Amino acid sequence: MAPQGPQSRPPRIPLSQLSHGPSSPQASWHDHRWPASPYLKGCGPRDLCRPALGHVGASLRLFGTSGIRGLVGQEVSPELAVKLGMALASLKGSGTYVVARDARTTSPMLAMSLSSGIMACGGDVVDLGLLPTGALAFLSRELKAQAGCMITASHNPPEYNGFKFFRQDSAPFWPEEQEAIEKAISKGSFKLATWDKIGDCWCSDEAERYLKALSDLVELNRSWKVVLDPGCGSASTLAPRAFRSIGCEVLAINASPDGHFPARSPDPRPDTVADLCSVVRASGADMGFAYDGDADRMVVVDEKGRFVPFDVALAAFSAYLIRSRGGGLVVTTVEASYCVEEAIREAGGDVVKTKVGDVAVSMEVARRGATFGGEPCGAWIFPGVHLCADGVLASLMVLKALDEEGLRPSEFFGRVKALEVVRDKVSCPNGLKEAVMEALSSELPSLFTGVRDVIDIDGIRVELQDGWVLVRPSGTEPVIRITAEAREAVRAREIASVAIGAVREAIRRAGGREG
């Protein structure tokens, strides 16, 4: 008999009864035609138990700043997924594991491969189907799972996919847990179960449990008209349900899950959410929200159909939260604008800056008992609910703040003294990043006058008399990111231009092609 899960074990639901399962009423795990995969050709069962080679070889480095991501068929494959599952269950032991996925075409394939690996080492798997990452993290805790895994590449293009792992307390895996997974795969040290101890797998629709938790947090004084743009991602059906459950009038666009992301990029930016801005204006809505591929991030559009800058949204909401609670600590990153820190301190709060990435922010929030954590990309963490960035939750909390203060979005966000921020990126092969950053560590500060300080918490941040610039390697894409800020737009662009030129030259000298 397979090891039993916790007593709160979810009821088993036939795959055919779930909206994310096969369309045929008679379909099952055995006869559903999941996407065919060429990635395991020539790979037998014994091969999966050997130490990983190639991109997961002796110099193994799988995890970035937010889980594991890569091109499917190259960095990410069913073989890797099976090994991740075996490593996970070998380290965490028997019990129940929860798995969910985004809308990407390769997500079912990877979810099944990961689940097979978990089962091979004695773990039971609850397949939660299509869900946002925040919901998976929340349910990892609510279902008392050994761990949770989200199959997603978040905001990356559709040809990418990946894995995010969560602890039983809903936090992303910390570095030591990530390292243990990598070590187990590198050495091939898996604790395979005997034939009579293989784990079980079943589907369970737990979305309602998550939705109820969200609706219990928000009580509105009036009905709001809201436009939602899930971008054909994992929040396509859940986000509209969440807003309707608190009495909102909802107009949803791009709300049919589609792993090709035909409507727009899964990365919501001013240029990719232009349709949302237009619909907000045309419909006379109170505001709009858009989400990335797995809805761990959100963006805000005000009642005039204007994109609210990431830093402004973070600053305004953080200040509201500090005022409403009479103080507190906010964790943000070295990439955040000065306006975020200024708004928080003016509201009576304290600020701690950490590395970029939801893992780093979540760790610091947990360690310091912070009130709130947020990145200037729309990834916000509410520790009173769970310890994962959650775009659907964040958008509901923004609406709650506006409702409590009786303000229109333009008024609420207009209170922030915004500075000029330029964000750009330069293509750089992952293998060259270390050499490029090493060269820039000494060269970049020398290119500017009036240098006040150089901070190396994450990449290189050069503090100037009239602004700052941060150059750091992305943990999720083959790029070097550049962020610059100044009081005037011209100066911000000038600072960014100098840094971009330095990055391109460093890449060229390292043997790459300038992005």
Whichever domain contains 121, its CATH number is 3.40.120.10
Domain contains 36: no
Backbone phi and psi for residue 231, each to the nearest 5 degrees, phi listed first: 65, 30
Query: Is residue 132 domain-shared with residue 223, that is, in the same domain?
Result: no
In angstroms, the CA 37 to CA 374 distance is: 38
Query: Is residue 118 domain-shared with residue 187, that is, in the same domain?
Result: yes
Q: Print pLDDT tens along the chain (515 aa).
A: 433 444 445 555 443 343 333 333 333 323 333 333 333 344 443 344 333 333 333 345 899 888 999 999 999 999 999 999 999 999 999 999 999 999 999 999 999 999 999 999 999 999 999 999 999 999 999 999 999 999 999 999 999 999 999 999 999 999 999 999 999 999 999 999 999 999 999 999 999 999 999 999 999 999 999 999 999 999 999 999 999 999 999 999 999 999 999 999 999 999 999 999 999 999 999 999 999 999 999 999 999 999 999 999 999 999 999 999 999 999 999 999 999 999 999 999 999 999 999 999 999 999 999 999 999 999 999 999 999 999 999 999 999 999 999 999 999 999 998 888 999 999 999 899 999 999 999 899 999 999 999 999 899 999 999 999 999 998 888 999 999 999 999 999 999 999 999 999 999 998 866 55
Query: Is residue 376 domain-shared with residue 341, that is, in the same domain?
Result: yes
Query: Is residue 331 domain-shared with residue 470, that is, in the same domain?
Result: no
Domain contains 457: yes
In angstroms, the CA 402 to CA 115 distance is: 42
In angstroms, the CA 462 to CA 407 distance is: 37
| Whether 205 contacts 13, CB under 8 Å | yes
User: Of 414, 436, 454, which residue sits at a domain end?
Assistant: 414
Query: Is residue 196 domain-shared with residue 220, that is, in the same domain?
Result: no
Query: Is residue 333 domain-shared with residue 251, that is, in the same domain?
Result: yes
The reported pTM is 0.85
In angstroms, the CA 136 to CA 153 distance is: 15
In angstroms, the CA 113 to CA 135 distance is: 21
Query: Is residue 236 domain-shared with residue 356, that is, in the same domain?
Result: yes
The pLDDT of residue 418: 85
User: Of 414, 449, 472, which residue sits at a domain end?
Assistant: 414
Query: Is residue 409 domain-shared with residue 440, that is, in the same domain?
Result: no
Query: Is residue 370 domain-shared with residue 405, that is, in the same domain?
Result: yes
Query: Is residue 313 domain-shared with residue 340, that is, in the same domain?
Result: yes
Residue 116 annotated in active site: no
Domain enclosing residue 504, as ranges: 420-509
Q: Which of 39, 294, 61 is nearest to 156 (CA)?
A: 294
Domain contains 297: yes
In angstroms, the CA 72 to CA 306 distance is: 35
Cβ density class 63-87: b for 16+ within 10 Å, e for less: bbbbbbbbbbeebbbbbbbbbbbbb
Q: What is the CATH number of the domain that holds 429?
A: 3.30.310.50
Query: Is residue 283 domain-shared with residue 364, that is, in the same domain?
Result: yes
Provide the 10 A C-beta neighbour count for residue 358. Answer: 29
The pLDDT of residue 417: 87
In angstroms, the CA 497 to CA 46 distance is: 52
Domain contains 27: no
User: How far does CA 176 lie from the centroid of its chain?
Assistant: 19
The pLDDT of residue 61: 83
Per residue, what are the HEC states of 439-499?
HHHHHHHHCCCCEEEEECCCCEEEEECCEEEEEEECCCCCEEEEEEEECCHHHHHHHHHHH
Question: Catalytic one among 107, 154, 170, 236?
Answer: 154
Domain contains 371: yes
Q: Output the CA–CA distances (angstroms, integers) from residue 442 to 289, 394, 430, in the order listed.
A: 41, 39, 21
Beta-carbon contacts of residue 489 (< 8 Å; ≥ 6 apart): 420
Q: Residue 40: exposed, middle, or buried by beta-carbon count in 10 A (0-12, 13-18, 19+)?
A: middle
| Whether 354 contacts 366, CB under 8 Å | no
Domain contains 487: yes
The two tokens of residue 503 are 């990055």
In angstroms, the CA 209 to CA 489 distance is: 46
In angstroms, the CA 382 to CA 358 distance is: 12
The pLDDT of residue 260: 98
The pLDDT of residue 16: 33
Query: Is residue 384 domain-shared with residue 474, that is, in the same domain?
Result: no
The two tokens of residue 234 are 């994992």
Domain contains 28: no
User: Structurally, how many domains does the chain consist of?
Assistant: 3
